[in-house]
Chains A and B, each alone.
Chain A
Amino acid sequence: MSRAEPHHLADDDFDALLSGVVAPGLASHLEHCSTCRQSARLDAEIVTALEALPPLLPSPDLADRVMRQVIIRRPAPPTVAAESLERTPREVAAQRRLLVAGISFGGMVTAVLGWALAFPGEALRWINPNLRQGVESLWAGLQQLPTELSSQAWHLPFADTLATPSRVVVAVGLAGVFYVGALVGFRHLLTESAHDAPA
């Protein structure tokens, strides 16, 4: 505690007195020192008067004047890009793990199917005898499928539409546009619903 004068109370002592803390040493000093007693009395008067100062009111139109110059920013609806930016590193890592697992599983299934198609006899040997008959029937059905499809009424115009490579390209292009349009529309629908939801 630093004292401005060795025989008088320090500023921190006056702080303590204002907060109602009267240590025995301070009390005895105040009894004998009229200067410090006067300072403490003035401090109390000053603080009481300051604390009693009433709040002042600005003009009633202050809020309107302020609001005329405030730019209220409406938040932009979240975009797909923004959403992806908002993903946490944990979510991104989880997504990557899922993608790797999906690709691995898909690769394994494709490899097994490829091997089974290349070596059907070998593949059938690996299957449980009880299931073998069912699988053989399914295989026969699959082999019949092209014949069945070509005998349908809609097959002829469909085959005619895809008769040349250029027509195939046009048809695939149209299907792609339809697919992307549907995807974007669906995404937009979901975003709108989320934006309209109550906060």
Chain B
Amino acid sequence: MAEPAKHQDWSALTDQEVARLALEGREAAYRELINRYQRPVYSLVYRMVRNQELAEDLTQETFIKVLNALESYRPEYKFSSWIFKIANNATIDHLRRRRLDTVSIHGSAHADSSEAIAASAIQVSDERESPLDEVVGRELGEQISAAVAKLRPEYRSCILLRHVEGRTYEEIAEIMDLPLGTVKTYIHRARNELRELLEEFRQD
């Protein structure tokens, strides 16, 4: 297998082939893997933690872990499942440690001043999120994002992987190291909670 001579030739290679080239010591292959997965990984992590700086740190941590452990990657599995698994573990571990999942979109419940509340408030209208109104309307997108942020981290991962990343139940089970039945239960519960939250938002 030859290294692509031009940048556009990378697109012809599978993730497994690019990973193999990286293991041969080719820096361009490492960069190609980052290029392929930085958007989906960052998007997933950001929607889990709802904090730009933290999402950047966790995304960076994920890529460093993945690229420094490429030898342990087994090509018979999807590379995307592997990287999402590492990203998800890093994010959930962080959320459990810091209990950020309990932070309201209106600001931390533990903040003791109005400035602190404002500083900890989640920026749902981050400028790097494309305008949602091009598709279904900004308001609904914000409501959904805010509602997802209120779910338990495990429910959040499952619902984002299923409906944002378009992963199958089986892939989610592999990514999250959970039985298939548990994944289905989490997704059903997440959808039930989202229905209630969406109705609450609309009543407010």
Contacts and interface: CB of A to CB of B under 8 A. Distances in A.
Nearest to B148: A50
Contacts of A62: 34, 38, 42, 56, 59-60, 63
A46 interface: yes
25 contacts: A11-B184, A11-B188, A11-B192, A15-B188, A45-B140, A47-B163, A49-B143, A53-B43, A53-B145, A54-B132, A55-B43, A56-B46, A56-B47, A56-B128, A56-B129, A57-B38, A62-B38, A62-B56, A63-B34, A66-B34, A66-B60, A66-B64, A67-B27, A70-B68, A72-B22
Given A55-B39, A56-B129, A63-B34, 9 more contacts: A15-B188, A49-B136, A49-B144, A52-B132, A53-B141, A54-B135, A58-B56, A67-B34, A70-B64
A75 interface: yes
Contacts of A198: 2
B148 to A, nearest CB: 8
Interface string B41-79: 011001100000001100110011001100100000000
A185 B169 CA distance: 58
Contacts of A47: 163
Interface of A: 11, 14-15, 39, 42-43, 45-59, 62-63, 65-67, 69-75, 198-199
B99 interface: no
Contacts, number: 123
A54 B97 CA distance: 28
Contact of A53 (B64, B144, B199): B144
Task: Determine the main DSSP class of B at the interface with A.
Answer: helix
A40 to B, nearest CB: 10
B164 interface: yes
A61 B130 CA distance: 20
Contacts of B39: 55-58
- Size band of the interface chain B makes with A: 35 or more
A54 B55 contact: no
A20 to B, nearest CB: 15
A72 B130 CA distance: 35
B199 A49 contact: no
Contacts of B23: 73, 75
B195 interface: yes
B175 interface: no
A52 B135 contact: yes
A50 B39 CA distance: 16
A46 B64 contact: no
A199 B27 contact: no
Contacts of B24: 75, 199
B84 interface: no
A54 B31 CA distance: 23
A69 B64 contact: yes
Contacts of B31: 63, 67
